[in-house]
Amino acid sequence: MRLLLVEDDPDLSRQMKTVLEGDGYAVDVSADGEDGHFLGETESYDAIVLDLGLPIMDGISVLTKWRQAEISTPVLILTARDGWSEKVAGLDAGADDYVTKPFKTEEVLARVRALIRRAAGQASPELNCGLVTLNTNTSKVSVDGMPVRLTAQEYKLLAYLMHHPEKIISRTELTEHIYDQDFDRDSNTIEVFVTRVRKKLGVNIINTVRGLGYQLVNASEQNSK
């Protein structure tokens, strides 16, 4: 899962990037509205955290432009204390949720998780496929109740696939959603990651769809085999 964080306070931005990366996300950061708007419109994100008070272009304008351009990525806005009118304006402009400053980073994490889950049509924080369980709250993976240790990149890959169980996902799409923009991306490494994840899980829930990408093995299909 990959996030965009648009926040002009350098300390807060750095702190949030660290916390979000610690929770298993690839994170791109932007410090002004114009740059943030550009990234949100041209890159693929699973959710966006957007401060409203931004230089060059304010957050409400950024959000309004994204929604006009039919960018439907879930957006969590950061609003000032006592700024009830800001919250209303933000939600009306197409924000999905808000957090009021000052906030505990845990609250941002929980809200981001919920947004991503809902956008993927998943109601429960625990995702299942066959014997494999992925808990999005704890970032833990288990097979038949036994914990499996994945690296950060392996977890991101499995989490993206498990959030989109019906879909065939190309290597390019996976690449876009598990690396931040500074990463030297190579879609060939995806195959290596998939092989490693399959090996660590010990059960194959990731099908290769020749020429197209990957798809989770349907749970019921798997049980009937």
* Residues between 157 and 216 that touch Ca ion (CB under 5 A): none
Shortest spacing between CB 132 and Ca ion, in angstroms: 41
Shortest spacing between CB 8 and Ca ion, in angstroms: 5
Nearer to Ca ion, 7 or 176 (CB): 7
Nearer to Ca ion, 23 or 51 (CB): 51
Read out DSSP for 160-221?
HHHHSTTS-B-HHHHHHHHS-TTS---THHHHHHHHHHHHHHSS--EEEETTTEEEEPPHHH
Is 8 a binder of Ca ion (CB under 5 A)?
yes
Choose the stretch contacting Ca ion; rule: CB under 5 A; options: 49-57, 69-77, 129-137, 156-164: 49-57
Terminal alpha carbon distance of the chain: 31
Orientation of helix 33-42 relative to helix 59-68, angle to 10°? 20
Interface with Ca ion (CB under 5 A), residue from 32, 34, 53, 105: 53
Which stretches does DSSP call E strand in the chain? 2-6, 26-30, 47-51, 75-79, 97-100, 126-129, 132-135, 140-143, 146-148, 206-209, 213-216
What are the CA-CA distances from residue 7 to residues 31, 56, 77, 100, 148 (Å)? 5, 12, 10, 14, 35
Size of the site for Ca ion (CB under 5 A): 3
Shortest spacing between CB 96 and Ca ion, in angstroms: 19
| Dist CA 201 CA 191 (whole Å) | 15
Is 51 a binder of Ca ion (CB under 5 A)?
yes
Give the CB-nearest residue to Ca ion. 53
Is 86 a binder of Ca ion (CB under 5 A)?
no
Choose the stretch contacting Ca ion; rule: CB under 5 A; options: 23-31, 43-51, 112-120, 208-216: 43-51
Choose the stretch contacting Ca ion; rule: CB under 5 A; options: 4-12, 60-68, 151-159, 196-204: 4-12
Shortest spacing between CB 54 and Ca ion, in angstroms: 6
Interface with Ca ion by CB under 5 A: which residues? 8, 51, 53
